[in-house]
Amino acid sequence: MSSVRGKVAVVTGAGSGIGRQLALELARRGARLALSDVDESGLAETVAEVKALGTEVQGAALDVSDRAAVLEYAATVAAQFGVVHQIYNNAGIAGGGQTVLDAEWELYDRTLAVNLFGVINGTKAFLPQLIDSGDGQVVNISSLNGFMAQPTLSAYCASKFGVRGFTEALRTEMIAGRHPVRVTVVHPGGVKTGIASSALKEAAARGIEPTAEQLERVRLYNEKLLKMPADQAARIILDGVEAGKPRVLVGNDAKLVDRLVRLLPRRYPKLIVDFERRRFAR
């Protein structure tokens, strides 16, 4: 079993949710940290909490969809720490709420830019450093929607399926090239974060008024489906990383859905629709 102690770890989307808790858990386990987020106030809070644990930390405002900015950031991190061992490509947005028929192109552009190309940008920018470290690790955060599709989540599902495929392809390349880099894809289930509520904010920013059904969906997600505390999710992820696991399922819901999709690949879409009709009274 490897350890994160003494390693330099990069965490994107560290201003809240799973990203913040990953940073705190990494700090408790003795890592040195480079943290980033587009939310500067949230990031500042995380950096302060990490510093209180006595950890060396660098914080930087970063939009992971901005490729040039990510490349510049990678150079800055290398200049400060001299080496980078791990990257946790965690930053993401909700990107849902509309059917394919109704969704605007902008929804797909933004969701794929952050959720998929943000992961690709971070991986490619830091991969040479990870290889040079001699003990590297790429950890990409997908979702249970990286193997299960749902209605009104086509942009989000496309991005998270993409993260899964990209990460698994990367793993084959690291094995084929005999590079000293382990690769892990993470599929969280219902983790108690602000991602459902943030979908409403994203829609409002695009001038879209949420429907009564969408408001009810967000309420039910927050109250019934997003249950696991983010700090517990972070511990599960890091336990998997330290054990060298290529795939980490976070939560019993993720494990159950994984089995459902594997056992009933043709039938599960109808089962999902039936479940949503009952749950959301549609």
Question: What pLDDT does 132 receive?
Answer: 98
**Residue 45 placed within a domain:** yes
pLDDT in tens, 6-29: 999 999 999 999 999 999 999 999
pLDDT in tens, 220-273: 655 556 678 999 999 999 999 999 999 999 999 999 999 999 999 999 999 999
Catalytic residue among 108, 156, 221, 268: 156
Q: Which residue has the tokens 């927050």?
A: 222
**Residue 26 placed within a domain:** yes
- What rounded mean pLDDT belongs to the chain? 90
Residue 262: CATH number of its domain: 3.40.50.720
pLDDT in tens, 163-176: 999 999 999 999 99
- Residue 156: give the domain boundaries: 8-280
Q: How many domains does the chain have?
A: 1
Cβ-in-10-Å burial (0-12, 13-18, 19+) of 88 comes to buried
| % of the chain residues with pLDDT over 70 | 86
**Residue 266 placed within a domain:** yes
Q: Which residues touch 228 (CB under 8 Å, ≥6 apart)?
A: 188, 189, 190, 191, 192, 250, 251
pLDDT in tens, 195-217: 555 655 665 565 666 665 655 56
Nearest residue to 251 via CA among 210, 190, 186, 196: 190
Whole-angstrom Cα distance, residue 196 to residue 193? 8
Flag whether the pTM goes above 0.95: no
Question: What pLDDT does 269 receive?
Answer: 95
Whole-angstrom Cα distance, residue 199 to residue 97? 8
Question: What pLDDT does 200 receive?
Answer: 54
Cβ-in-10-Å burial (0-12, 13-18, 19+) of 143 comes to buried
- Does 268 qualify as catalytic in the annotation? no
Whole-angstrom Cα distance, residue 272 to residue 81? 46
Question: What pLDDT does 96 receive?
Answer: 76
**Residue 2 placed within a domain:** no
pLDDT in tens, 71-98: 999 999 999 999 999 999 999 998 877 8
**Residue 1 placed within a domain:** no
Question: What pLDDT does 278 receive?
Answer: 80
Question: What pLDDT does 2 receive?
Answer: 59
Whole-angstrom Cα distance, residue 59 to residue 28? 17
Whether 277 has a pLDDT exceeding 90, the answer reads no
pLDDT in tens, 130-170: 999 999 999 999 999 999 999 999 999 999 999 999 999 99
- Strands (DSSP E) along 118-255, which ranges? 136-141, 181-188, 191-192, 228-229, 247-250
34, HSE (Cβ side, Cα atoms, 13 Å): 25
- Measure CA 30 to chain center: 22
Beta strands across the sheet bearing 32-37: 57-61, 32-37, 8-11, 86-89, 136-141, 181-188, 247-250
Question: What pLDDT does 211 receive?
Answer: 62
Question: What pLDDT does 223 receive?
Answer: 52
**Residue 108 placed within a domain:** yes
Q: Which residues touch 264 (CB under 8 Å, ≥6 apart)?
A: 271
- How would you classify residue 262: left for phi > 0, otherwise alpha for psi between -120 and 50, otherwise beta? alpha
Q: For the packed helices 17-28 and 40-52, what is the interaxial angle rounded to 10 degrees?
A: 20
Whether 184 has a pLDDT exceeding 70, the answer reads yes
Question: What pLDDT does 216 receive?
Answer: 53
Question: What pLDDT does 1 receive?
Answer: 45
Helix (H) or strand (E) holding 84: none
Whole-angstrom Cα distance, residue 151 to residue 168? 25
**Residue 245 placed within a domain:** yes
**Residue 273 placed within a domain:** yes
- In which band, very low, low, confident or very high, does the pLDDT at 101 lie, cut at 50, 70 and 90? very high
